[in-house]
Amino acid sequence: MSSSDPIPSAPPSPLRRVALFGGAALLATAAGAWFALQRRPGTTTASADAAAVLWSQSFDTPQGGVLHAADWRGKPLVLNFWATWCAPCVREFPQLERFHREFGPKGWQTVGLAIDGPTPVREFLQKLPVSFAIGLAGLSGTELAKQLGNERGGLPFTVVLDAEGRVLQRKLGETSFDELAGWARAAGA
C-alpha cells in the first residue's frame, strides 16, 4: 500500500448518526421558531406609509355609493379582506357582524373589503346581510392587504388599527368573535 492510498475508515456509529440527526433537527427547529416569531401577529412593522395609503383610498359599495377610508380615521377599526368564493371568509362573516353589533356602540368600526366584483357581492349580501360597511376593493385590494402586512396574499385577512391608524393586530385566516373582542379589549374597549 502506498502512502497516497486512502485509509479506510469505519462507518459512523449509530450513536454518531443520532447525534448528527438530532443536531440538524435542533437547528431546523430553532430556525423555524425564529421565523415564526418574526411573522407573529401583534403590532406589526407595516409602515406608516401603508396607513397613509389606506387613508387615501375610496371604495365603491355594492349599493352604488362610495366609502372613503379617510372617514375611518380617529376611531379604532377592524378591516377585513374577504371574497364571496372564500369558504373561511363566509364562515367568519357572522362573527364580524356580531363584533360590529357589540363593539360598534363602543366606537369600533368594522369594514369588509371584498376582493370580488359587485354582482357576486350583491348576491352574497342578499343571502347574508350585514350591518357593517362593505367596500369593493377588487383585485387591487390584495395589494393594499399586502401593504398592511398580508405577505402571502391569502384570504380572509383581518387588520385591527387603533384610532391613530397604527396596526395593532393582523391575522391571515378565519377569525372569531372571541378573538376580535379580545383584541378590542386589549386596545382599551
Structural domain containing residue 52 = 48-186
Least confident piece of the model among 2-16, 59-73, 149-163: 2-16
In this structure, what C-alpha cell is assigned to residue 112?
369588509
120 assigned to some structural domain? yes
CA-nearest of 37, 69, 90 to 141 is: 69
Whole-model pTM: value is 0.76
Residue with cell 364571496: 84
Q: Are residues 118 and 145 in the same domain?
A: yes
Q: What's the whole-number mean pLDDT along residues 101-115?
A: 98
Q: What's the whole-number mean pLDDT along residues 29-57?
A: 57
Distance separating alpha carbons of residues 54 and 148, to the nearest angstrom: 9
Half-sphere exposure of 49 (CA within 13 A, CB side): 3
Beta partners for residue 66, in sequence order: 60
- pLDDT (0 to 100) of residue 49: 80
3 assigned to some structural domain? no
Q: Are residues 33 and 99 in the same domain?
A: no
User: DSSP string covering 124-151, please?
Assistant: HHHHS--SSEEEE-TTHHHHHHHHTT-T
Model confidence pLDDT, tens digit, residues 114-163 = 999 999 999 999 999 999 999 999 999 999 999 999 999 999 999 999 99
4 assigned to some structural domain? no
